[in-house]
Structure 1
Amino acid sequence: AFRGVVPDGDYIDRLMTLYDVRLKAGDKPAAALKETLSVVLASPMFLYLAEPSADEKRRPLTDAELATRLSYFLWSAPPDATLRDLAASGELKKPEVLAAQTERLLDDPRSSGFLEAFVHQWLGLDRIDFFEVNRALYPRFDSGTKVAAKGEIYETFAYLLRHNASLRDLLKSDYVVINRVLAHYYGISGVKGDGYEKVSLPKDSPRGGLLGMAGILFMGGNGERTSPVERGAWVLRKLLHDPPPPAPANVPAITRLSGQVLTTRERLLAHQEEPQCASCHRKIDPIGFGLENFDAAGQWRTEDSYTAIDANGKPDPKSMKTWTIDPSAAFHKGPAFNDYFALRDIIASGADDFARSFSEALVEFALGRPLGFRDEPLVTDMIGQAGKKDLAIHEFIHGLVSSEEFRTK
């Protein structure tokens, strides 16, 4: 239960005392044992992957510890017999053996344990479940579509992992990995099954890559309206490795705009006139403007509209305003773009920044701690190794597993 860590005698004595107490209380042996084992299963040593060490200085992992760290990293599960045998024989530490075992674990279906947990943490997918879409506004985005849209994110990464494809495909690609439900939602024909499959896209499709996924786009809103700020900040954090600072506290409302029906762009540009807002919004908003052709449910559109709410909390039809979406903008102190496709091309050209963001997230996930200053050389080495093979996904993982940081504690 404690993964090879032998508990001290005092702990065993307390368990035996509990067992005896339950017997004296009238429990049958099986019931007393069940109560005792429940204490073991509630112990932090069972619930958490502990790596206790009496040494103050870093030291190499033992073979058994290395097998455990590798297995929990790539399977989220204990080592199997093959890993345990290699650890017992002292072979696992050999670079060629460790590399072969890393590849074996990645090719095993149990790598889904790594895939799901890592992608969720890296891309911040918990926001998908924070709110529901307004079905009156977006009737096609039902619960089945939401599940399918979330699944597309995981299944696309799974495809990259299975085929050791390039990380670049998450920025821009000529294919999607979708099922029948999402194909219907995207207007793509020829997909009939409930399982996810790779489907080629026409050249003019806005899909392909994270920016064209309904699940990602859905997170950049509130279920009713899009939020260029949420979308722009997410792109800066996850794709461009340039996270904006936290919003300042107690930002006052722009009262001069009250009662006015403005376009999304007009409302956000007004924020840039406020000194405490301008520095961040000048970086964030242009990216969000470039994604405005996608509505709050991730569907392509060319127009948007807004209706004010009256004193009774009902839409006021007299105040409705409709406008043609203008996705053109310019990065703060950077290139301009005319539409979403040009924005996507600019982001895709910064694959090295994306690789750094990905590598840092991978290090944090594998080592179970925040990234530190001392990890920067490791991240640089991982990017360099993967860069020699067009940013192939497996190369990032091999670079991490073979590193001193992964093999010591």
Structure 2
Amino acid sequence: MGRILVTGVGLISSIGNTVAANRKSLTEAHSGIEKASFLQSRYTSLLPFGEIKQSTEVLAGLMPITQPQVTRTDLIALHALKEAIDDAQLSEQELRKHSTALISASTVGGMCLTDHMYADANAPVPTGSPYLSSYSNSASTLFLQSFFNIGGIVNTFNTACSSSANAIMYGARLLQNGLAERAIVGGTDSLAKFTINGFNALMILSDAPCRPFDVARKGLNLGEAGAFIILEKEENIAPSQKVYAELKGYGNSNDAYHPSSTSENADGPFLCMQEALQTAGLQPDDIDFINAHGTATENNDETESVAMLRLFDKVPAFASTKSYTGHTLGAAGAVEAIYSILNLHHQEIYPSLNFETPIEKTGLIPVQAYEKRSLHYVMSNSFGFGGNCSSLIFGQYR
């Protein structure tokens, strides 16, 4: 089977509206976690968020006409996917082919419009709601399919925080099994009162910028983002075509330990990283850098550290970019996959922010300063609720 290559990327997050703007913020250690400007929630003034620095109305400027059922989640996805398609120089004809697949991910979906749909349902004379069709997590995928006239296999993943990592994995499998010539993979999520209230009920939201892998970590900051990657088989691309990196391996596991926590011995994280190495044909000491899941919650950072100590004789350099963007939920796997691709493409690593003191049980210290470094293989971890854990390995294209 031929190699699977990354030929296009698109990204919007709280630290930039393009891939280049995101990289600039990462190299300058500039976080996008701050007070939100556009979010309407009782927690807007109380908690920091990784909010995209554009209003929904501005994002809607990409649309030829205004459609009330198109959500902020959809528009964020549209922004990111347009950049990825342009970057890979895909034509309208190529998008329409049955060999072009779209595999996206979302956990929020249209829940950002819950209040609108609730008001419609409780109107004195109910007449239906334009927001009902956009409420599911798959609505953003169908919107993208329709907007870009994508003609191949279309699917949506919702496995919580590992959603878009699993979308990338699924797209790679389509290519390997001859079911697509190219796969557009990624995910999108927006900030929404529904999810904010849910995470607040779990008591894992921090009232300050998050501190991944720090002993004094207080919890995560929610963020929003859209991120998409174009995957193509090596034999299908032109010799002159731009290539960012190779998707070398991937792994998924489920420890089924707890609805929102991983087990103390970190079976799920350990097994998915181990499987990623196996599919890549690599050994643990081949990994040069890890973009850790690193949510800054009490459970995740300790168990992810335990898993790394189990797998690696010497834990590679690692960091968590959630200290820049916040936790972007279903988009996180794709966001951090792109950051891993940038690591390789530019031979550089981006530091964790706000770290001071290591967790006593594990003693691991993330990278704390921007570095230029020779990198061959980068691992990106994404661990979801219910114990659904995924790891991706990207390799330098040579």
Same fold (TM over 0.5): no
Indicate the structure with greater helix content: 1
TM-score, reference length from structure 1: 0.24
Higher strand share: 2
